[in-house]
Amino acid sequence: MISGALGAAIAFIIGYVMWLTGGWAGGDVKLFTALGALMPFYTAPYVQNVPYPFPITILFNSVIAILPILLIYAVICRIRGRGMLYEQVKITELREGMIPAETIYEKDGKVSRWSSKFGLKPHYDRVYTNPRRAAGLTRYQVGALKRLVRERKLKNYIKLKKGIPFAPALGLGVAIAIFYGDLYWRFVLALSGA
């Protein structure tokens, strides 16, 4: 029971950081946390029989398995002049449920933007968008943003998070871990000649 809670905590922390960077959605974090609770640790022979967190193995296997696909996707995004995790759209084209990648707020009558993930959060009188709200923009927020554009208090663009489901990659990472083992350590051992 303690190992399951510890595995879930490790998986949640990793997933939360991935969510903060915009790489994962909330469902990916929940799935990864559940996998960490169900399969917390295993004894890997290549780390001198020390209990090794299974969520880390799942994550590395997932990333290694989908790396070629991610590289192709990154090249296509680069060619098209778009970001991998974010896209910029006109506020006048916003719809309810879209997830912003930046905070738009009002302080002392001035509307500003803030998109730092790890910096100090600004103080504001009113917030119009919240990137941490999993359900995305409400109808009220979309209306308020469009009104700010009409009043020329805000430029007509916003950065949105792109939804890239990582759950299929996690499933592939689990399958590889169960049937083949830890790809990362196999690569390390192969490169070191062991």
Give the per-residue pLDDT at 116. Answer: 64
Write the DSSP string, 94-163: --TT--BSSEEEEETTEEEEE--SSSPPPP-SEES--TT-TT---HHHHHHHHHHHHTTSS-S-EEEE--
What is the pLDDT tens value at each position of the chain, 194 positions in all? 788 899 899 999 998 888 777 677 778 889 999 999 988 887 766 666 677 788 888 888 998 888 898 889 889 988 887 777 788 899 999 999 888 888 899 988 899 888 765 556 778 888 899 887 767 899 999 999 999 999 999 999 999 887 667 888 888 988 998 888 888 877 877 888 76
What element of type H or E holds 80?
helix 54-80
pLDDT of residue 117: 59
In three-state secondary structure terms, 52 is: strand
Burial grade of 83 (CB within 10 A; 0-12, 13-18, 19 or more): middle
Q: How far apart are CA 122 and CA 145, in angstroms?
A: 19
User: What pLDDT score does 48 carry?
Assistant: 67
List the one residue out of 12, 1, 4, 22 whose CA is nearest residue 163: 22
- pTM for the model stands at 0.64
